[in-house]
Structure formats: structure tokens, C-alpha cells
Structure 1
Amino acid sequence: MTEPYENLEEKQNKPSQTKERQFKGLSLTERKQARREKLIEAGIEAYGTHGFFAVTVKDICNEAKLTERYFYESFKKSDELFQTIFLKLIDQLQHNVMQAIMQASTDPRKMIESGLTALLTTLKDNPRMARIIYIDAMLVQELHNQATIHETMLRFDRMIHAFVMLMMPHIDRSEREISLVATGLNGYVTQIAIRWVVSGFKQSMQEVLSSCSIVFLSLLDTFSEKEKILKKESSS
């Protein structure tokens, strides 16, 4: 009787005292990493399509075409896989936003438009990412008390804080005040994003972009006016 593929693979790849043996050109470590990546991609597909609470470990393994023993080779439980996926997608989203901002002109209004456009475009082009970040992650955080998800979302506070300082390097406000403003801006955009994602991107991107931009532009106008007044007073 022919042995299962997994058993044959294991026999051919028992650790060597010198180095790992190769199987189809890959070491045991490389194959393990490849299986982990398969599970992550399967998780994005399954969680992003059906939602975290409707997906089992077996569902993930079926999607990845791997046995459950390989799931537990990389992850202790489904929460750990979800958290890994969430962090991966957040990194991708933040990278796209920051890249757009840095490539925009030095005009603060153009920076606002570029950053928010990158955020919304990434979400609309990747609905599974959007669902995982703005729907399931929020539920997992609330129901499972996931501190990591909460802390990761705070990275957007810091990103917006840096964005405000980039737009207005001479702003006359304390770090604490700018930090609070950044948290408020993050919350505002997050709530709009959640509503947009839940609706299935029903409203046009231009409408959503305009709604998100309002508070950033108002902030810019308010702080810019304050700077003008201070400069005028100092020159008097």
C-alpha cells in the first residue's frame, strides 16, 4: 500500500546533522514557511469572504489544501492566524497610504487627497482586506479582548500625527494636543470606512473621499489661520 504523501515527505527530510535535506528543491524550513503562507492566503480568502466567526480551522485547511496537522504546525488556534493576517493587511494598507503621501506634492491639500485616496482605493480594490480590518477585527477585539488589534489600530493615530506634522511643520500646538486631534481624525475616518465597507461600497468613492477630507481640510484651515494670526502679532 502506498504511503501518504506527507509521510513520504517526512521520511525523506529527517533533520541531518549537517544541513536539512532537500525535497523538490526545498528544505524542511522552506516547505514549512510555504505551508504557512498557504494558510495565510487561505485565511484571507475564507475570513474575508465569510467572516471570522463563520470559518473553522477545517475550512481554512480545505481552502489551503493542507491537513489540519499542518495548521497546528504554524498556528496554535484560529485567533492566532487571524491576528497574523490582520497585522499583514494593516502593514500593506499603511504602506500604500504613506507611499501615496510621500509621493504627493508638498501642497498639504494634495497630500490629504493622495493619502485618503490611497486608503479608500486599497479597501475597494481588496474587499476581503476591508472586511477583515474594518468588520471582523473590530468584533474580534471586542469579543475576545484582543489587545494586539487595539494597539495596532493605534498605529493609525501615530501615522496621522506624523501626517499633521508633515503638513504643518511649524504648527503652534503641543504634542499632546496634536495626539488627541490625530485620534479624533482616525476615529472619524474609521467610522466612515466601516459604514462604507458594511454597505458593500455602495456610495461612490468620490462621496466618501469628500466626507473624509472635510475634517482634514477644516483642521488645515483652522491651524493655518492660527499661524497667520501669530505671525501677524509677532511682527507688530
Structure 2
Amino acid sequence: MSKKPTPAKRRVYGGIDAGQRVQERRERLLEAALELFATQGYQNTPIEQLCAAAKVTTRHFYEAFAGREALLLALYERIIREAQAVVREALQRPGLDLATRIPQVMGAFIETYVSDRRRAQVGVLEVVGVSPAVEKRRREVIREFAQVLEGYADSLVAQGLLPQRNYHPVSLALVGGINELLAEWLMSGDPSSLQQLHQAISDVMQALLLGGAAMAQHEKKVKKK
């Protein structure tokens, strides 16, 4: 009987196999993309420059990503996923009233998404107008953030803290407004105004949620009469 072929061994150099090397190159390309896309713009950054900054060859680039747009989408996805996780965690933190929770949520969001200006630059501005595929993903992201807020609002409805409403439209409007505030902050060229941005976004959220809480209390009083 003929012997079954043995699986090919993965080549290992310096204790690192081929898969690990691809992952390391991928990480270096993501870091290079964050710096270059944020500082000189996605449209002004060719693949050759990304490769030089990441210290990889063009062949190695295409082992990690299908193209420059795929690299942008991967970077955008990472930035968004980290921001969404932080916001969800802050919204679910127990023992906080609405007035305390809102500034904490915005502080957590700004810490992960805005304090490194490069992340906000890519996540808010550099993904605009790239291609139909990137624009589709950008719109999906806005809806995803809106769904996070909508879910939180629905949980407050269940607790009797907000009136029964469809909170999807207002959540979508709120996320769109926050996105515009971020764009304005990025384009103003004034990094010292970060605290003002934090306050502005917190004020908008408080107007929505605390106003809704006041409406819920008013409706309860009306029903009792």
C-alpha cells in the first residue's frame, strides 16, 4: 500500500512561521496606513509608500490585502469595532444615573476614538468619497452606532425612564450630528478644543435622554389624573 502523503511543514525562520510573518506584516501595514492616511490623506498615499513605511515588499502587501482600499476598510473596521465596544461597555456600566452616565459614555468614546486624532481622521473624513463599497460600509457604521443608542433607549423605556417611542430615527439623527461635530473639530485645526467637543456631544445626548425622561414623568402624571 502506498503511504499517505504527510502534510507539508510550515517553514519557520527565527521561531516565526509563515502565518505569523504574514500577520506581523499586516499589523505593520495597518500602522503605516493609520499614520499616512491620517497625515497626508488616503488619496495621496500610494501602495509603494505604505510598503516603504511598513518595511514590506509589494508582494508581501498583496499577501495581506487585496489592495489599498481593502487596507483602508480593515483599518476603519478596527477603529470602529474598538469604539463600539467601549461605548457598549460604558452604557451597560451599572449604578449610574442618566446625568452621570452620559458624560462617562462620551468620555470613553473620545478616549478611544478621538484622543488619537489619526483614528478620528480616518474614521470620519478619509473614508468619505472613496468608492461605493466604502461609502456603503460608512453608512452601515452610522446605522450600527444608532442601533447601539436605540437599544439603550429601549432599555430605558423598559425601566419606565423614557416614554414608549420609535427611537431609531432620533438615534440616527444623533449619530449623524455627532459625526458632523467630529468632522468640524477635525477640520478646524484646533486640537485644544477637545474638551469643548466632549461637552457639545454630551449636551446633545443629555438633551435627548434627559428630555425624554422628563416626558416620561409628565406622561405618568397625566395618566394619574
TM over 0.5: yes
Q: CA offsets per residue over residues 172-218 of structure 1, 9 Å max, x none?
A: 323xx200010011111111111111223445333222222222222
1:27–1:40 distance in 2 versus 1, CA, 3 Å:
same
| Percent identical | 23
2:99–2:210 CA contact under 8 A, matched in 1: no
1:150 and 1:132 map into 2 onto residues whose CA distance is: 15
Query: Runs of 5+ in structure 2 lacking a partner?
Result: 1-5
2:32 is aligned with 1:76: no
RMSD of aligned Cα (Å): 2.2
After TM superposition, the structure 1 = structure 2 runs for residues 81-96 of structure 1, keeping only pairs within 5 Å, are: 81-96=71-86
2:181 is aligned with 1:181: no
1:88 and 1:173 map into 2 onto residues whose CA distance is: 34
User: Could you say which residue in structure 2 is the equivalent of 1:127?
Assistant: 117
Q: CA deviation at 1:133?
A: 0.6
1:105–1:192 distance in 2 versus 1, CA, 3 Å:
farther
1:83–1:149 CA contact under 8 A, matched in 2: no
Q: CA deviation at 1:107?
A: 0.4
2:19 and 2:31 map into 1 onto residues whose CA distance is: 19
1:43–1:81 CA contact under 8 A, matched in 2: yes
Q: Which amino acid aligns with 1:195?
A: E
Q: Which amino acid aligns with 1:100?
A: A
Q: CA deviation at 1:230?
A: 2.4
Moved more, 112-121 or 95-104: 95-104
Q: Which amino acid aligns with 2:130?
A: V
Q: CA offsets per residue over residues 47-81 of structure 1, 9 Å max, x none?
A: 12211011000010000011101111121210111
2:128–2:135 CA contact under 8 A, matched in 1: no
Q: CA offsets per residue over residues 82-117 of structure 1, 9 Å max, x none?
A: 001000111112222233333364201111111112
1:168 and 1:206 map into 2 onto residues whose CA distance is: 30
After TM superposition, the structure 1 = structure 2 runs for residues 1-236 of structure 1, keeping only pairs within 5 Å, are: 17-103=7-93, 105-140=95-130, 146-169=135-158, 170=160, 171-174=162-165, 177-202=166-191, 204-236=193-225
User: How does the TM-score come out when normalised to structure 1?
Assistant: 0.83
Moved more, 214-223 or 78-87: 214-223
1:191–1:86 distance in 2 versus 1, CA, 3 Å:
same
Q: Which amino acid aligns with 1:44?
A: L
1:104–1:110 CA contact under 8 A, matched in 2: no
1:77 and 1:69 map into 2 onto residues whose CA distance is: 11
1:124–1:201 CA contact under 8 A, matched in 2: no
Q: CA offsets per residue over residues 102-147 of structure 1, 9 Å max, x none?
A: 33642011111111122223344211101101111123257x6631
